[in-house]
Amino acid sequence: MAAPPTPNTSAAAAPGSGCGSVRLLRSSARSRLPFAAAARPGGRPATVLRARALPAPPELVEQSVNTIRFLAVDAVEKAQSGHPGLPMGCAPLGHVLFDEFLRFNPKNPALFDRDRFVLSAGHGCMLQYALLHLAGYDSVTMDDLKAFRQWRSRTPGHPENFETPGVEVTTGPLGQGFANAVGLALAEKHLAARFNKTDLKIVDHYTYVILGDGCQMEGVSNEAASLAGHWDLGKLIAFYDDNHISIDGNTDIAFTEDILARYEALGWHTIWVKNGNTGYDDIRAAIKEAKGAKDKPTLIKVTTTIGFGSPNKANTYSVHGSALGSKEVEATRRNLRWLHEPFHVPGDVKRHWSHHIDEGASLEAQWNAKFAEYEKKYHQEAAELKSIISGELPSGWENALPTYTPESSSDATRNLSQQCLNSLAKVIPGFLGGSADLATSNMTLLMMFGDFQRDTPEQRNIRFGVREHGMGAICNGIAVHSPGLIPYCATFFVFTDYMRAAIRLSALSESGVIFVMTHDSIGLGEDGPTHQPVEQLFSIRAMPNILMLRPSDGNETSGAYKIAVLNRKTPSIIALSRQKLPQLKGTSVDAVSKGGYIISDNSSGNKPDLILIGTGSELEIAEKAADELRKEGSTVRVVSLVCWELFEEQPDKYKESVLPSEVTSRISIEAGVTFGWEKYIGQKGKAIGIDHFGVSAPAGKIYKELGLTVENVIAAAKAL
């Protein structure tokens, strides 16, 4: 491990001498203009296609690297909050990658064939903000840098893709960004295999990611790395910031494994840059070597000094997550000979980095010209790719979803879900996904496609293996790659607990993943309480910006998928039964969009004696109980509350028409915890559910013993 730099030694080493709701408000924050005409500043069309500029001379590289370091130091100091250590240590890597290798257009962050960059170690976000600022992104002005971590700032405390154009994914929880990058690289490989032609390579970009020691320790990164190696994602290049420091101190207290050996065993190509502080030539050579290793993803271990340049805090945990302090900032300025006021960008650095604006416009013009040629030669493929790039769904796609009548045969909603998945895959070019080793149980195979594998990446069935957490995070990466890529992933509903962090980030980062969750209740039976979800429904309902849908039959299952496809900035969880359910009279594909609606009612004037509310497999119980009560002279309304979130979005007038406030006799029935149902049944209502874990037994026996029966609903109604 390198020692902290001292004046006039490592800090000044010669460059190159060596041997990184809210949903609606956020939806407009990130512009997507993949087919916009390239333009130079001032709106003039780009007519001259420029080659990539040569690397800056060594003195200017050093000046640029120190600019990055001190923009980070000054922003953290001004905010008195943040993580200066990683940006100070990774500034050389950041400069070389962004200035010399990364292909992008700062004036159009949504350019389709751009390289993707992910900062998995999101706490070091000032590195990314400084680089975006220097590169000319309008989303990170000097004022934005000065507003780091402040209210409504475009430079929040961790990168947020919905807040800052140029940021590809939302990172912070360690390891998630790395797994997202695997998803981005998967998307590139899949689209390249489907659409590239021998004469026209229309999809051709790299995914780069910087991860730290913490990312390496988190299990999700190993799940994702294992899959990346299995899939031979050769255009994925990961930089491991090997600085040996975490919040608790030196990593040797808990983390001593050989990372390169682990990644080699996972099928990665590995490189070690031993001097990440000043070894610019070594960093360049490593990236070139990685780009040449096309049959494997590459991990580049870059050994750096956290807080490089700080005389008293470099190489210590104290520089990881707090401001240096005014005295140490001044000492660092002297040590690195940076005798400038805070937030200073030297003119030479500005002039050099401005080349990205012209180069980005040229890159876009080249791609647009190539796509125009592609469209003439390969019209059908171009139309499909354009749909994926733009997110525009084919006309009439929803008509592919199946519909049912009460005479249709009973079936498990997991089977009805498979009909929906296969119908959608036929008409939506960007529809793909898979399961965590449960495809034949989740019923998620796309019958007309094969498996996405290293040699068949054009196929659309993704085999994730038993890696729920990695699966969810990878799908988040697929979803943010292009607006028209619609990934789904599946497991048993109870195992949302294994992937909850990825689901939460899907909601936060506006990634419209469809989470297909089968075996949704005690109805799965004999596998017992370890596999019977009881609290999961409410726990997901408590999460912002996610749709928790629990359909009761075929029409509602089709309606759930229609909603899930339409909501591209909100993920959906569709909870599905293992047991067979009847096709109910009164259910509707379109009514699912309301979240809650009336399926039967023998009252008039919006004044039933009783309202029964159910979801999923228990809606049948509510309907049967209503039939019996009606025979005894009661007026009963049955409401399907298939999605609470959608119901809450409806106008008050509609909600009152479904659940009139003056009708206080209400009963809910759902095979899960009753917590939360008081919102819909009120103080006088009765919630029938399960406020304890389940039990191993046949499903029918469990329902009877736990009181989820027609008889119990009738008894509760008479007791109100």
Full 3-state SS string of 261-308:
HHHHHCCCEEEEECCCCCCHHHHHHHHHHHHHCCCCCEEEEEECCCCC
Alpha carbon separation from 407 to 410, 438, 601 (Å, rounded): 9, 30, 20
Report the C-alpha gap between 498 and 467 in whole angstroms.
9
* Percent helix / strand / coil, the chain, rounded to 5: 45, 10, 45
DSSP 432: E
- Judged by DSSP in three states, 209 sits in strand
| Three-state secondary structure string covering 437-500 | CCHHHHCCCCCCCCEECCCCCCCCEEECCCCHHHHHHHHHHHHHHCCCCEEEEEEEHHHHHHCH
Q: Does the annotation count 618 as an active-site position?
A: no
- Check if the beta carbon of residue 706 is closer than 8 Å to that of residue 522: yes
The C-alpha atoms of residue 714 and residue 711 are separated, in whole angstroms, by 5
Beta strands 245-246; 207-211: pairing state: unpaired
Closest to 128 (Cα-Cα) out of 162, 101, 164: 164
The 10 Å Cβ neighbour count of residue 567 is 18
Other CB atoms within 10 A of residue 261 CB: 10
Q: In a 3-state reduction of DSSP, which class is residue 521?
A: coil
Which residues have a Cβ under 8 Å from the Cβ of 301 and sit 6 or more positions away?
240, 242, 259, 260, 270, 271, 272, 273
- Give residues with Cβ within 8 angstroms of 322, minimum separation 6: 81, 82
Query: Is-contact 666 637, C-beta < 8 A?
Result: no
Cross-strand bridge partners of residue 237: 208, 298
- How far apart are the C-alpha atoms of 598 and 612, rounded to whole Å? 10
Binding-site residue ranges for Mg(2+): 213, 243, 245
Q: Are 670 and 537 in contact (CB under 8 A)?
A: yes
Q: What whole-number distance in Å separates Cα of residue 436 and Cα of residue 465?
A: 5
Which residue positions form the known binding site for substrate? 83, 320, 414, 441, 519, 527, 531, 578
Rounded-to-integer distance, Cα 433 and Cα 449, Å: 11
Give the annotated binding-site residues for thiamine diphosphate.
123, 172-174, 214, 243, 320, 495
Residue 614 class from Cβ within 10 Å (0-12 exposed, 13-18 middle, 19+ buried)?
buried
| Amino acid letter for position 638 | V
Strand partners, 610: 636
Concatenated DSSP letters for 580-641? Answer: EE---TT--TGGGGGS-EEEEE--STT--SEEEEE-TTHHHHHHHHHHHHHHTT--EEEEE-
For 430, the enclosing helix (H) or strand (E) is none
DSSP label at residue 39? B
* DSSP annotation string for 310-349: -TTTTTSGGGTSS---HHHHHHHHHHTT----TT---HHH
The Cα 243–Cα 275 span in angstroms is: 11
Of 468, 510, 618, 645, which one is the catalytic site residue?
468
Binding residues: 83, 123, 172-174, 213-214, 243, 245, 320, 414, 441, 495, 519, 527, 531, 578
Positions annotated as catalytic residues are: 468
